[in-house]
Amino acid sequence: MEIIHVSAECYPVAKAGGLGDVVGALPKYQSDNGHIAKVVMPMYRTKFLYNHQWELVHEGEQLLGQQPFRYAVIREKTNELGFDLYLVDINGLLDREKVYGYDDDTERFLAFQIAVCDWLSKWQHLPDIVHCHDHHAALIPFLMKYGYAFSARLAGIPTVFTIHNAQYQGWIGWDKQHLLPAFDNWKWGMLDWDNTINPLACAIKCATRVTTVSPSYMEELRYAANGLENLMQYEAGKSVGILNGIDADVWDPQKDGLIVKNYDDHLVKEGKRRNKKELCGHFGLDEDKPLIVFIGRLVGEKAADILPEAIRNSVYQHRGAASFLVLGSGDSVVENQLEEVKHNMHGYVNTYIGYNETLSHLMYAGADFLLMPSRVEPCGLNQMYALRYGTVPMVRSTGGLKDTVKDFGEWQGYGIRFNHATVPDITHSVGRAIDLYSNKRDLYNWMRSYMMNIDHSWDASAEEYTRLYESIKNS
Ligand code: ADP
Ligand code: GLC
Q: Check whether residue 6 and residue 120 sit in a common domain.
A: yes
Closest ligand 2 atom to residue 244 Cα is 12
84 lies in the same domain as 224: yes
Q: Domain check: are 189 and 200 in the same one?
A: yes
Q: In the prediction, which pLDDT does 431 show?
A: 98
Domain assignment present for residue 204? The answer is yes
Measure the CA–CA gap between 212 and 138, rounded to whole angstroms.
Answer: 14
Same domain, 426 and 372: yes
pLDDT attached to residue 314? 98
Quick check: is 111 in a domain? yes
In a domain, 226, yes or no: yes
Q: Is residue 260 part of a domain?
A: no
Residues 38 and 117 in one domain: yes
| CATH number of residue 26's parent domain | 3.40.50.2000
CA distance 409 to 210: 35
How far apart are the CA of 433 and the centre of ligand 1, in A?
A: 23
Of the listed ligands, the closest to the CA of 351 is: 1
Same domain, 198 and 146: yes
The pLDDT score that the predictor gives to residue 475 is 67
Which residues lie closer than 8 Å to 122 by C-beta, 6 or more apart? 58, 60
In this structure, which ligand is nearest to the CA of 401?
2
Structural domains counted in the chain: 2
Supply the range of the domain harboring residue 50: 2-245+459-473
pLDDT at residue number 330: 95
My answer on whether 440 and 465 are in the same domain is: no
| pLDDT mean values, one per 10 residues, the chain (475 residues) | 98 95 97 97 96 97 96 96 97 95 97 98 97 98 98 98 97 97 96 98 98 98 97 98 95 98 97 98 98 97 98 98 97 98 97 96 98 98 98 98 97 97 98 98 96 95 97 84
- 259: in domain: no
Same domain, 463 and 444: no
422 lines ligand 1 (CB under 6 A): no
Q: Which of 147, 202, 146, 144 is nearest to 171 (CA)?
A: 202
Identify the nearest ligand to the CA of 165 by its number.
2
In a domain, 392, yes or no: yes
Q: What is the 3-state secondary structure (H, E, C) of 142-203?
A: HHHHHECCCHHHHCCCCEEEEECCCCCCCCECHHHHHHCCCECHHHHHHHEECCEECHHHHH
Q: Is residue 419 part of a domain?
A: yes
Q: Which phi and psi angles does 159 have, rounded to 5°?
A: -120, 145
Give yes or no for residue 378 CB within 6 A of ligand 1. no
pTM: 0.96
- Whether residue 257 lies inside any domain: the answer is no
Q: Are residues 138 and 217 part of one domain? A: yes
64 shares a domain with 145: yes
Tell me: do 280 and 366 sit in the same domain: yes
Q: 31 and 96 share a domain?
A: yes
Distance 64 CA to ligand 1 centre (A): 33
| Distance between Cα 15 and ligand 1 center (Å) | 9
